[in-house]
Amino acid sequence: MATLARKLRLHDYFALAFGTMIGTGWLVLMDDWLGRGGPLGAILGYAIGGIMLLPVGYVYGQWVRRLPDAAGEAAYTAEVFPSIVSYFTGWMMLLAYFIVCPWEAVALGKLAAYIFPSLNRMELYRIGDQPVFLPRLALGVVLTIFLGVLNYRGIRLSANFQKLMTSSVLLCFLVILAVSATRGAPANFRPLFSATPLVSILLTLQIVPYFMTGFESAPKYAEESNPEFREGSYMWAIALALGVGAFFYAMCIAAVTYVAPWQDLLGKRFATAIAFESALKAHWPVSLIFTMALLGLFQCFNGNFAASTRLLFAFGRRGTISSSFGGVHQRFQTPYVAVLGVTAGSLAGLFLGDALLVPVTEVGSMASALGWLAACASFWMAEKRAGMKMVTGLGILVSLTLILMKMLPVFPGHFSPAEWMAFGIWVVLGGALHWGRG
């Protein structure tokens, strides 16, 4: 039986995990983050969120050493829970990765249209009050097919592309921090919070799972590690992705609010670019920021695309959906059927536009936390050592808290009816694929 190519090293794992987390949210949603928490509330939300997730990352690092399986959470939970629990755990994580793919394809058109307004023409149709334009749609289609071909032809190509994008994003990030440090003022931070400190931090913590999803993607490529790759390096890749990812988000918020009064940015599209343009009275920072955003979009799309294909491949190989998805290309040693499936699904989602993607994106935040909870709970049941159980218990508590913050009406920012509906549709779709498998 054909197996996946074994070519990945530590820097590949870091790039894939970090890139899965960092896309364009720091540009297109900065006004939302500041509206939720204010500058200090948002910074603390991401910093605390990154620290809270360390026990979860530790559990993943332990699991992948014991069970290097592309199924990830589905494989871990299968060790202690019934098969149906295992399947739907993996299905929730697939949503968390997959929904990013059409979202980033749509975001490409948005970014390009900001630079080239002429792309906002030839309206094809509307979903809700959101128009879908042909040129923007075409850009998304081209990018989706490009990444589909890249991943079809080999993990080495995908990983090299990811490393190039990640290195470029981090370089641009350092330039932006340097500009902010020299042109900003501490007074722009006031007031520090959008509401009370606790509410401001909680509102930010609610979205942390969605934007930090990706550190746990490293184990999805466990079957593709270089033969010389050491087991302990998985933990390093996960910890680095978590730490650098949380630092990236927190410092982006700090850089933006240091150069411009944050309340003036609320409700502004692409607030990050607006802040630097107004502070420097020049357009070159905007060009740099949009270049960085495009690179981040490419790495985030590719990282989530690759992780989605590995989960779908693992489902097919385990027989929990059609076994055809478990096929491996004889020449390229890639899960080519799963790649084709994710490409087709991303293209379908792209045609839905913003209106239907937004509620599903919110669902992705809770889906990630559900996967983390299941991975931690299964490890707690499988582990015998008291110290390990204590760390795992912290992971369970963190994951459960993040889930309840989205489910319970007592928390601000809880699920809306549209988001519950999107969650229900995904569960029904998963059930149909599972029980209708051939």
Type and span of the H or E element at 221:
none
Domain residue spans of the chain: 10-404
**pLDDT (0 to 100) of residue 2:** 66
What is the C-alpha to C-alpha distance for residues 121 and 109, in angstroms, rounded to an integer?
12
As a whole number, the mean pLDDT across the chain is 88
**pLDDT (0 to 100) of residue 192:** 92
**pLDDT (0 to 100) of residue 404:** 86
What is the C-alpha to C-alpha distance for residues 240 and 217, in angstroms, rounded to an integer?
13
CB 209 within 8 A of CB 366: yes
What is the C-alpha to C-alpha distance for residues 207 and 366, in angstroms, rounded to an integer?
9
Return per-residue pLDDT of the chain as tens, 438 residues.
568 888 899 999 999 999 999 888 888 888 889 999 999 999 999 999 999 899 999 999 999 999 999 888 999 999 999 988 999 999 889 888 888 888 888 888 888 887 788 888 888 888 777 788 888 889 999 999 999 999 999 999 999 999 999 999 999 999 999 999 998 889 999 899 988 999 999 888 888 877 888 899 988 999 999 988 888 889 999 999 999 999 999 999 999 999 999 999 998 888 898 999 888 888 888 888 988 999 999 999 999 999 999 999 999 888 888 888 989 898 889 999 999 999 999 998 888 776 655 666 667 778 888 999 999 999 999 988 888 889 999 999 989 988 888 888 877 667 788 788 878 888 888 888 888 765
What is the C-alpha to C-alpha distance for residues 313 and 38, in angstroms, rounded to an integer?
42
**pLDDT (0 to 100) of residue 360:** 64
**pLDDT (0 to 100) of residue 158:** 92
DSSP character at residue 125: E
CATH of domain 10-404: 1.20.1740.10
**pLDDT (0 to 100) of residue 152:** 95
| Sign of the dihedral defined by the CA atoms of residues 225, 231, 233, 238, in that order | positive
pTM of the model: 0.88
Type and span of the H or E element at 186:
none
CB 77 within 8 A of CB 86: yes
**pLDDT (0 to 100) of residue 356:** 59
Q: How many CB atoms lie within 10 A of CB 228?
A: 7
Widest distance between CA atoms in the chain: 64
What is the C-alpha to C-alpha distance for residues 346 and 356, in angstroms, rounded to an integer?
13
Question: What region, left, alpha or beta, does residue 223 occupy, with left being phi > 0 and alpha being psi -120 to 50 degrees?
Answer: alpha
**pLDDT (0 to 100) of residue 357:** 57
Q: How many CB atoms lie within 10 A of CB 145?
A: 13
3-state secondary structure of 132: strand
Q: Which two tokens stand for residue 282?
A: 């020049």
**pLDDT (0 to 100) of residue 355:** 65
Type and span of the H or E element at 431:
helix 417-435
| Sign of the dihedral defined by the CA atoms of residues 283, 287, 292, 293, in that order | positive
Q: What number of CA atoms fall less than 13 Å from residue 256's CA on the CB side?
A: 32
What is the C-alpha to C-alpha distance for residues 23 and 40, in angstroms, rounded to an integer?
22
What is the C-alpha to C-alpha distance for residues 42 and 193, in angstroms, rounded to an integer?
8
